[in-house]
Amino acid sequence: MDKTFYITTPIYYPSAKPHMGHAYSSIIADFFARFKIIDDYQVHFLTGTDEHGLKIQRSAEKAGKEPQIFCDQISQTFRDLSDTLNLSNTDFIRTTETRHKNTVQHLWNELEKNDDIYLSNYSGWYSVSDEAFYNEDEIEEVEGKKIAISSKSPVEWIEEESYFFRLSKWEKPLLDYYEANPDFIAPQSRKNEVISFVKSGLKDLSVSRKSFSWGIPVPNNKKHVIYVWLDALTNYLSALKYPNKDDDLFKKFWPASIHLIGKDILRFHAVYWPAFLLAAKIDLPNRVYGHGWILSGEEKMSKSKGNILDPLEIIKEYGLDPLRYYLIKEVSFGNDGNISKERLEDCINSDLANNFGNLCQRVTAFAIKNCNGKIPLEVKFNDEDLLILNKYKDNLDNIRLKIDNQNINFYIDYIVNSLFEANKYFNDQEPWKKKDDIIRLNTIVYTTLEIVRKISFLLYPIIPESSLKALKIFDIEEKNIKLSSVSNNEYLTKGNKINKIEILFKKIEKNND
Ligand code: MSP
């Protein structure tokens, strides 16, 4: 059976142009997708935009545009960002597409058929910014204004006729499910949060709105539009052509391997979504991972707070791969992280330019000069060579396991250590002093080139473009990057030409005052 992997990002609100927080979720998802691609999985990687609801309707009104036209324009900036970030996504879904609307209405009908939806009246607090309902104990008053404690966004009182989903009925099944599937919610701290929320008691959830029209109509009552979160979450299914269960995409890729989300939207993904799926008798995704926030100072970066770092500006100034590397390395995965240009510059100088770029340049320059510009023909590994080479083989299964547990921190540490070791090996072995022992010189060069090749493979999920540039040394193409061959100590064909490559990363001049 083919190995398959289905990963999703949140679908982003096109209420304003994308910022670093959105870029972060997408880059992390791309990291996992690319890792699985080189590990020979068939990968479906979904991202997109969440275009209905009052938040978007109001943003469009503010901009003086029809909501659809407004969404068309801003959704395009998210699509463009996917290209700019070099995402390997296989689909980009918009919730205003027909394929999606049909699936949502189908799911609604299923829930109604199973008696999980009923008509009543809602009165309570609502945050348009979060598109979320809040209980009285979840809000506070600050300077005379009611806000949600968790997100600090303003709430307003609403009272209207509404359809409800029988969420309360699913309290016990959800708790049983979490217990039977201990890896469903990650990391552990988030899981505890969810469990205590569910244990505190679930109330039925309002799943339709009547006082505005920008949404998917309730199938048999056009006066209501479907609650935007029920609409949005369903994107993960509509992209696989659900309800067509015979479709290849659905058969192959559902249940999703992982929904990657920010911790701000955990409740929707780890409580509401599984409850909807249980009610509709659809398998649950394997995992929901809630990562931390990119902070600006002490606060979450967001449009309403006006503390946005624009990914496009950073990319323009430093390049894409440095940003990807930096976000993956410096924001300890699962936790919040502060980002600063200074740390980004340190990363570029020490890890990328010195440790990786320099190693590539040094060994190729040496080989071009001393080995006729070819991969050495005759090599004889000694214990030291084998020790450093075999580490990759010995660690490969562990690396796979760590990635399946979303332990990105382990992965990046492994690479940083490997680079450090590789540089040390080349220095300590002093091939420049071995000119009268040509087999030894050849072996040191071959070993170091093999390590450059292995590390470039491992770096591919993080910095794909630079990894490919480095692999030009050996004329290795993207389609030939296979994780399994990281174990091979003699992958490089002896006698093949070695190519000189351009400088991979330029060092940043820093003022040390
Ligand atoms: N549309 C909903 C998601 C629906 S998914 C079925 C939404 N959209 S959003 O535009 O607000 O994006 C939310 C996601 O963007 C977060 O969950 C997170 O993945 C990412 N980020 C937005 N700001 C962020 C930070 N400051 N830091 C890290 N990621 C954050 O919620």
Q: Which pLDDT tens digit goes with each residue over 182-201?
A: 999 999 999 999 999 999 99
CA of 263 to the centre of ligand 1 (A): 9
HEC per residue, 253-299? HCCCCEEEEEHHHHHHHHHHHHHHHHHCCCCCCCCEEEECCEEECCE
Among 261, 263, 308, the mutation site with the greatest number of ligand 1 atoms within 8 A of its Cβ is 261
CA atoms within 13 A on the CB side of 230: 32
Can you say how many angstroms the Cα of residue 320 is from the centroid of all Cα atoms in its chain? 16
Predicted pLDDT at 389: 98
Query: For position 75, what pLDDT does the model report?
Result: 97
Ligand 1 neighbours, Cβ below 6 Å, are: 10-13, 21-22, 24-25, 50, 232-233, 235, 261-262, 264-265, 293-294, 300-302
Q: Are 422 and 356 in contact (CB under 8 A)?
A: no
In angstroms, the CA 486 to CA 239 distance is 34
SS3 per-residue string spanning 176-235:
HHHHHCCCCEECHHHHHHHHHHHHCCCCCEECEECCCCCCCEECCEEEEEECHHHHHHCH
**Distance, CA 202 to ligand 1 centroid (Å)?**
24
Can you name the residues that pair with 120 across neighbouring β-strands? Answer: 162
Contact 22, 273 (CB under 8 A): no
Nearest atom in ligand 1 to the alpha carbon of residue 12 is 10
- CA–CA gap between residue 502 and residue 367 (Å, rounded): 16
Candidate of 25, 92, 95, 150 to mutate for ligand 1, largest count of ligand atoms within 8 Å of Cβ? 25
Report residues of the chain scoring pLDDT below 50.
Answer: 513
Domains along the sequence of the chain with CATH: 341-487 (1.10.730.10)
Which residue reads 């398959």 in tokens?
4
Is the pTM for the entire model greater than 0.85? yes
Q: What is the pLDDT of residue 17?
A: 87
Q: CB atoms < 10 A from the CB of 8, how many?
A: 27
Query: Partners of 299 in the beta sheet?
Result: 296
10 CA from centroid of ligand 1 (Å) = 6
- The phi, psi pair for 495, rounded to 5°, reads 90, -15
Backbone angles phi, psi at 462, to 5 degrees: -90, -50
CA 131–ligand 1 middle distance (angstroms): 12
Tokens of 110: 């299923």
- Best CA proximity match to 207, nearest among 184, 228, 235, 185: 228
Q: What is the DSSP letter of 381?
A: -
